[in-house]
Amino acid sequence: MNWNFIKDLQWIYDTLDHWDVPMVERDYPIIWEKAHATSCAQIGRMLAEIRNIDLEQAALACALHDIGRWQNGKQLEHAINGEDPVRRFLAEGNYSEKNRELIVQAVVNHSKKEQIGTPLEELVKDADLLDCHWHGEHSSKTYHVARLNKALSDLGIRYRKERVVQ
């Protein structure tokens, strides 16, 4: 069991609970932010296994990728707005400068799904799309569909437009 990641996840949950105030009109509810952070981290670990990327770095980057939306609740420019809060979070941990910078760039660039970035950035983008896909959010953007197909293929899953829901 990786207790350091569990502690990081507890910090994420505590932070989200702190920002769950009725006066803020949110684009996504706090329960979604918690579920998305957790499931993206696990999807990130799976992709990291396949792509030979550090599992814990991938899980943390995936868990934190939407940190820019947590405080103000707004989707608009949330990736760019995540830079300062993710830097503050990482400064308190025992992460190397190189790892901190890779995670910061993955957070800042995760919404640029039409662009190719570092392996960690690509993994975060794919984990985000996969999680949203499996929660029923589907994009018709050509580059999203292509990226989703590739990520599903990496996991040995064939993409079907019409998912079977029971």
Domain-embedded: residue 159: no
Contact 106, 82 (CB under 8 A): no
Give yes or no for a contact between 16 and 42, defined as CB atoms under 8 angstroms apart.
no
Residue 73, Ramachandran bin (φ over 0: left; ψ between -120 and 50: alpha; else beta): left
The answer to whether residue 162 sits within a structural domain is: no
In a domain, 164, yes or no: no
- The DSSP output letter for 84 is H
CATH number of residue 67's parent domain:
1.10.3210.10
47 part of a folded domain:
yes
User: Tokens in use for 98?
Assistant: 């190189």
Token output for 153? 């293929």
Domain housing 116:
3-154
Residues constituting the chain: 166
Other CB atoms closer than 10 Å to residue 42's CB: what's the count? 14
- Judge whether 30 lies within some domain: yes
Rg (C-alpha) for the chain, rounded Å, is 15
Indicate the DSSP class of residue 17: H
- CA distance between the termini of the chain: 33
Is residue 26 one of the residues assigned to a domain?
A: yes
pLDDT along the chain (166 residues), means of 10: 88 88 85 96 97 96 96 93 95 93 98 97 98 91 92 88 51
Per DSSP, 48 falls in state H
Which residue bears the tokens 């030979």?
Answer: 52
Domain count, the chain: 1
| Residue tagged 């499931």 (tokens) | 39
